Amino acid sequence: MIEANRLKKSFGPVLAVDQVSFQVRKGEVVGFLGPNGAGKTTTMRMLTCFLSPDSGSATVAGHDILTDSLGVRRSVGYLPEDAPLYADMTVTGFLGFIADVRGLRNSKRRTASDRVIDICGIASVLNRPIGELSKGYRQRVGLAQALIHDPEILILDEPTSGLDPAQIREIRSLIKTLGEEKTVILCTHILPEAQATCGRVLIINRGTIVAAGTPDELSARTAGKETVKVCLVSPPADALSLVRDLPFVEEVWTLEKTPGRLTFGARTASGISLSEELFKFAVSKSWVLSELVKEKASLEDVFLKLTTKEK
């Protein structure tokens, strides 16, 4: 359904997307993961014809993004991170306006509106101005506008950004339901969101795809290696460097750093009890440990490994 081939995009001296290539098959729900500024949104904007690539190509539902942008737009429902809503319109008026833009007329217009109202659960707010709605309902209206023309493909960019936990659960559940019928790309930097909704993930960092596979496949990259989470109280400035230099430590990455506290992850090759060795080392340095936990390899481990560069 989607095939990107060596897409590249720069903004002045900043290379935002660098030779990105991937495929999304029909019926897949694919997570497009990366830290803020990794190139996720720029890639999605090229696929939806909001931006033209500097080089490379892509097809969406068989339509070329460079030569058939209208065909692409007809095939895609797009929800940007900032939903394109008109605050002074009522929900009913806005959906009618979007239906007109999409070329839906008469009975098709009414049928399409009724369908997305039901799917997105917005019947109770139809006559309210969009500007008065909660963020959760605005996201639902944004999804409704992306769905109103019944597209084959949905591209959702950070759809749960700024929502409270209850709203996040509702939107995730809705995305899973939509994924039963449509091809979906979920663009996010929130790992639990991808694990809860996606069958396959792509990880992008600094404009380049660095990994692809199911969450289980990516987690298997760390199989056989012990991973621990360590929290130090009042650590010395060179604590990470000292840990990294230990002969039995393969990788180290920062999880959280606040005044007076440092939390980091570490990994070693199989056959070594990293938790025991790090405990002994911390004691020898008179470090205060508030946490030392052996962890199961997860998608988060892979994500941090591929997107975090220690300084």
Domain locations along the chain = 2-213, 220-307
- Provide the pLDDT for residue 301: 66
Mean local confidence (pLDDT), 284-305: 80
- 273 pLDDT band, cuts 50/70/90, is confident
pLDDT score for 311: 38
- Tell me the per-residue pLDDT of 195-222, one tens digit each, with 9 for 90 and over: 778 889 999 999 999 888 887 777 666 5
pLDDT value at residue 243: 93
d(CA 226, CA 296) in angstroms, rounded, equals 8
Second CATH level (architecture) for the domain 2-213 = 3-Layer(aba) Sandwich (3.40)
* pLDDT over 60 at 224, yes or no: no
Q: b/e string for 97-108 if b means 16 or more Cβ within 10 A?
A: ebbeebebeeee
Q: What is the pLDDT of residue 310?
A: 46
pTM of the model: 0.72
pLDDT at 270: 61
- Residue the block writes with tokens 């404009």: 207
Mean model confidence pLDDT for the chain: 88
Reply yes or no on whether the pLDDT at 291 is more than 50: yes
Higher pLDDT among residues 193 and 21, named by residue: 21
Please check the confidence at residue 231 and state whether its pLDDT lies above 60. Answer: yes
> Average pLDDT, stretch 186-199?
82
188 confidence band (pLDDT: 50, 70, 90): confident
pLDDT in tens, 78-91: 999 888 899 999 99
Q: pLDDT for 85-116, tens place per residue?
A: 999 999 999 999 999 999 998 899 999 999 99
Long-range contacts of the stretch 120-128 (C-beta < 8 A, 24+): 120/144, 120/147, 120/174, 121/170, 121/174, 122/91, 125/91, 126/90, 126/91, 126/92, 127/90, 127/91, 127/92, 128/90, 128/91
pLDDT of 14 above 70 = yes
Q: What's the CATH class of domain 220-307?
A: alpha beta
At 243, the amino acid letter reads: V
Per-residue pLDDT at 225 exceeds 90: no
pLDDT band at 40 (very low <50, low <70, confident <90, very high): very high
How sure is the predictor about 296, in pLDDT bands with cuts at 50, 70 and 90?
low
